[in-house]
Chain A
Amino acid sequence: MSTIFDYRCSEKVGGLFPELDVPARGVEHLIDSQHLRTQPLRLPELSEPQVARHYTGLSKLNFGVDDGFYPLGSCTMKYNPKLNEAMASLSGFANLHPRSDVTRSQGALQLLFELTEFLRGIAGMADVSLQPVAGAHGELTGMFLFKKYFESRGEPNRKRILLSDTAHGTNPASAALAGFSVTEVASDEFGMIDLKALDEALDETVAGVMLTVPNTLGIFETNILEVTDKVHVAGGLCYFDGANLNSYMGKTRPGDMGADVFHYNLHKTMSTPHGGGGPGSGPIAVSGTLIDYLPLPRVCQKNGQYELDWDLPNSIGSIHSFYGNFLVAVKAFAYILQLGDEGLRAVSENAVLNANYLQERLKKTYLLPYDGLCKHEFVLSGQGIADGITTLDIAKRLIDYGVHPPTIYFPLTVREALMIEPTETESKETLDRFAEILEAVAVEAREDPQLLHDAPLNAPVRRLDQTQAAKNPVLTYPFDEKPA
């Protein structure tokens, strides 16, 4: 794989920026030499066609949702409408400075205000902050709210967060970053929160629980009201990880289940898209108990004008430079506006239908550890497919068939897990084809296991040595290395 640094650098190309149109005073006269760069930069000097070819070439080594089926569990890799991109590049949004006077940013503020209203309604909760810019950032903000809440109630001893053994890794990491200790509560034989274990863990040192509904096995916690009641009775708060919102929009709402904080992943559920790892947007919704602590600033409406409210003395403060990932919010707004209630419901219904349809078919070939109704995703196990074959082998073989592998080895409670989330934007035809592929791979696993061990064979690279990357890390281009 060539990097941009491997091209033969020509002489200075120029042409991006104009000549100086004011009298030059000279850098040396404006800045003391102690501040000036002495080592020349080693950026490549390339013509535009070279740059265009290089990055177009890199893009072809990637696999995106537009390339094919992407059933990555927990990640909601749905189709990203092209309208989103067009709306986010409108000049009145893209070229708006965040320090612009509010009287001159009314359109942007109106959009933020209305998106807040939409999201509040979708979650059925008291208020929303659009400031967090990723799911994990929303979680962290939520944990800060928990901390502030107990601080202001004079209960600093509430230092423990309970979470399920099926929780996303970001949950414990976010709780720990906010200064909480983490206690794992085992799930029961149906993959749900074990109420007895929850009772045992709840005491006056517990700040709250972090729940994922439906959980990462794709199972809806039928006891959800008992769980949130128990936590509230014990004086704790309930955090809902919203990674799985795609399974119940227009059907039910976290606010109706006892959530105190809920985070959205607009880059998943609201199609904004994921960008190869961001930028995302992770707004949070809160119950009435926590409104006063929401991040600064809030967008509000006064006398027919939209304003930024900075005067919130109990706020946890700001958690991002300005108002969150505004251009991502624009995309989510356009998406929700297009769907309306009917579309939101259709999204979840078809996401759940697609998942159950695939689960029903694939459980005949693959082990389904938790058999029953699933929501938008389900978890199979690669165990028992063939001797010596791992889930990693299965995943890599799927690449050869032109589909993106599911999430693997998560959740941790399922051995050799394959976590499959088809989303609503896939056709029955695509699902049938995917099922055929997985069935064919199961046959190959028994008849020609080496094929799976060697996979992928058709990808831009074969299986990569990730231990070498860990042991002797090369994290930047070695300019001094002789070309091979």
Chain B
Amino acid sequence: MRYIPNTSADRREMLASIGVSSIEELFADIPDLVKSRFQPLNLPARSEMEVASIVSEMADCSKSTDAVCLLGGGIYDHYVPSIVGHLLSRSEFFTAYTPYQPEISQGTLTAMFEFQTFVCELTGMEIANASMYDGATALAEAVLMAERIRKKGAVAVPRSLFSHVRRVLDTYCWATEIEIHEIGYLPDGTVDLKSLPQELSALVIQTPNALGVIEPLAGVKDTIGDALLIVSCHPLSLGLLQPPGVFDADIVVAEGQPLGLAMGYGGPLLGLFATRKEYLRQMPGRVAGRTVDVEGKTGYAMAAQTREQHIRRQRATSNICTNAALCALASTIYLASAGSAGLRQVAELNLEKAHYLADGITAIDGYELTFSGAFFNEFVVNVPGDAMAIHDRLVQAGFAVEAPDTLRSLGLENALRFAVTEKRTKDELDRLIEVLGESR
């Protein structure tokens, strides 16, 4: 077998030195009754070349990658610079384990420290962990953390949260018996903060929200008593937008996929998680910290480990162990490559192009923006007639557009959501506008 170096001669020699006569004897401790129930997969062994061909054929059947992507809703078709993949494929990074032996894991640990710094810079927060599984579980863990701190048994969550994030939050809150108060949105698409319930562990705000609208965060913290303010955001938008930390947010989370990760059919993703220094002991996930070795040389090691499962077992702040280290490294390389100017530029490209498309679509009779609130790279339009029919026409014309079901679940009939990234060209956007114009 290609990945097993032992030869039959090795095996014989090794069995002899163990003092058994066959491999089977090494499995004598498995009860016979258990063994008798065994059934194989009936799967033949294949060569690397055959497997490459079978799997490539499957990949070719996932045809939507040929379409011009206007899908969004939390995952976006952003450009991934070539350097990201090249550096990630250094096997010293991707074949290492969690850095439990810091002296030979300084690469991973230094990158974790850089990542935490980047996350704090983007979000305007004091500390960040070294990653969560994805933006959805990052938000769920933020809610659990707020509940550990405030213990009110309830949180307020906007209806305009991404549907996939809400589904995960629902599961975690059901399991931990935290009540969710759903709050609606105003005609401009921003969250309706009137009549918030009194006893809350946290208020969750997503900006831009699932309607694409940027939420005003100024003053929100003052209106929620001692509830924590949890903000979920789009990391690229923070190249332009005021970071939530400026508005006194207590926990900031984000889906980090836009920062140099492939869409990958939704995984692996990357959860960003940042908070205040005072909450370090309550924060879930791994953290790297700067320290020195016995000679006084700077180095990095995992910090605040006494919160973690391998030390505190059932009293740990979270069960998280393996997270998304390599994805965090990807986003670190992405941000290091883009720099402040690059990040601002890519954010501006998203903003301008999304508005160009919105302007073009709403110039067509019968199309209008559903909400008047400011948006970043995603927006919702009311369409004349059957949204599904219009969607289908766009799909036939070679665009990947979201079906209207998600918006229906938000109470919006006959509306479509479009996301525009830096990858979309003027030609593509003009063609989309033209197809919509023709279908009148």
Least CB distance, B331 to chain A, in whole angstroms = 12
Least CB distance, B257 to chain A, in whole angstroms = 9
- Is B246's beta carbon under 8 Å from chain A? yes
Tell me, in angstroms, the Cα distance from A423 to B346 when the chains sit together: 45
| CB proximity to B under 8 Å, residues A131-164 | 133-137, 139-140, 143-144, 147
- Is B268's beta carbon under 8 Å from chain A? yes
- Is B279's beta carbon under 8 Å from chain A? no
- Is A202's beta carbon under 8 Å from chain B? no
A51 touches B333 (CB 8 A): yes
A118 touches B43 (CB 8 A): yes
- Is B431's beta carbon under 8 Å from chain A? no
List residues of chain A with CB within 8 A of the CB of B228.
Answer: none
Tell me, in angstroms, the Cα distance from A179 to B111 when the chains sit together: 34
B164 touches A341 (CB 8 A): no
A48 touches B337 (CB 8 A): yes
Closest to B298 in A: A1
Tell me, in angstroms, the Cα distance from A36 to B83 when the chains sit together: 30
Within 8 Å by CB of B52, from A87, A108, A178, lies A87
Tell me, in angstroms, the Cα distance from A32 to B58 when the chains sit together: 47
List residues of chain B with CB within 8 A of the CB of A99.
Answer: 71-73, 75, 402, 406
Tell me, in angstroms, the Cα distance from A170 to B325 when the chains sit together: 18
- Is B107's beta carbon under 8 Å from chain A? yes
B87 touches A55 (CB 8 A): yes
Least CB distance, B238 to chain A, in whole angstroms = 7
Interface segment out of the listed A232-240, A311-319, A379-387, A443-451: A311-319
B218 touches A34 (CB 8 A): yes
List residues of chain B with CB within 8 A of the CB of A1.
Answer: 106, 110, 298-300
A350 touches B94 (CB 8 A): no
A37 touches B242 (CB 8 A): yes
Interface segment out of the listed B7-15, B149-157, B193-201, B362-370: B7-15
B5 touches A427 (CB 8 A): yes
Complex interface bits, A344-377 against B, C-beta within 8 A gives 1, otherwise 0 = 1011011011101100110000000000010100
A134 touches B323 (CB 8 A): yes
Least CB distance, B207 to chain A, in whole angstroms = 9
Given contacts A21-B426, A43-B343, A360-B18, contact A136 B321 (CB under 8 A): yes
B356 touches A173 (CB 8 A): no
A354 touches B69 (CB 8 A): no
Complex interface bits, A251-279 against B, C-beta within 8 A gives 1, otherwise 0 = 11100110000000101000101111111
- Is B81's beta carbon under 8 Å from chain A? yes
Closest to A318 in B: B167
B342 touches A470 (CB 8 A): no
Complex interface bits, B272-315 against A, C-beta within 8 A gives 1, otherwise 0 = 00000000100000111111111101111111111011111111
- Is B318's beta carbon under 8 Å from chain A? yes
A59 touches B340 (CB 8 A): no
Least CB distance, B133 to chain A, in whole angstroms = 5
- Is A433's beta carbon under 8 Å from chain B? no
List residues of chain A with CB within 8 A of the CB of B400.
Answer: 97, 100-101, 104
A470 touches B304 (CB 8 A): yes
B339 touches A107 (CB 8 A): no
- Is B97's beta carbon under 8 Å from chain A? yes
A325 touches B104 (CB 8 A): no
List residues of chain B with CB within 8 A of the CB of A108.
Answer: 58-59, 62, 265
| CB proximity to A under 8 Å, residues B100-134 | 100-108, 110-111, 113-114, 116-118, 120-122, 124, 126-128, 130-131, 133-134
A276 touches B325 (CB 8 A): yes
Given contacts A3-B113, A97-B71, contact A427 B356 (CB under 8 A): no
Within 8 Å by CB of A337, from B4, B38, B51, lies B51
- Is A69's beta carbon under 8 Å from chain B? no
- Is B41's beta carbon under 8 Å from chain A? yes
| CB proximity to A under 8 Å, residues B1-26 | 1-6, 10-11, 13-15, 17-20, 23, 26
A456 touches B103 (CB 8 A): yes
B103 touches A134 (CB 8 A): no
Q: Which residue, of A5, A32, A428, has the highest number of chain B Cβ atoms within 10 A?
A: A428
Within 8 Å by CB of B322, from A21, A278, A468, lies A278
| CB proximity to B under 8 Å, residues A66-88 | 66-67, 70, 72, 75, 77-81, 83, 85-88
Complex interface bits, A436-464 against B, C-beta within 8 A gives 1, otherwise 0 = 00000000000000000010100111111
A177 touches B319 (CB 8 A): yes
B96 touches A274 (CB 8 A): yes
- Is B186's beta carbon under 8 Å from chain A? no
Complex interface bits, B47-85 against A, C-beta within 8 A gives 1, otherwise 0 = 110011011111111111101010111110101010101
- Is B378's beta carbon under 8 Å from chain A? no
Given contacts A87-B52, A105-B62, A278-B322, contact A460 B106 (CB under 8 A): yes
B352 touches A25 (CB 8 A): yes
Given contacts A107-B61, A136-B320, A425-B4, contact A321 B290 (CB under 8 A): no
Within 8 Å by CB of B324, from A27, A104, A169, A278, lies A278
Q: Which residue, of A48, A52, A251, A257, has the highest number of chain B Cβ atoms within 10 A?
A: A251
List residues of chain B with CB within 8 A of the CB of A302.
Answer: none
B121 touches A42 (CB 8 A): yes
Sample of 19 A–B contacts (CB below 8 Å):
A40-B340, A41-B344, A52-B86, A66-B92, A81-B3, A93-B62, A96-B64, A96-B263, A107-B61, A134-B321, A134-B323, A248-B30, A251-B27, A252-B35, A317-B171, A353-B14, A463-B103, A465-B291, A473-B289
Q: Identify 10 new A-B residue pairs, CB closer than 8 A, beyond the known A92-B58, A110-B58, A337-B55.
A: A4-B336, A38-B242, A66-B91, A107-B62, A253-B39, A327-B262, A327-B264, A327-B265, A427-B5, A468-B291
What 3 pairs between A and B have smallest CB-CB spacing? A322-B266, A98-B266, A107-B61
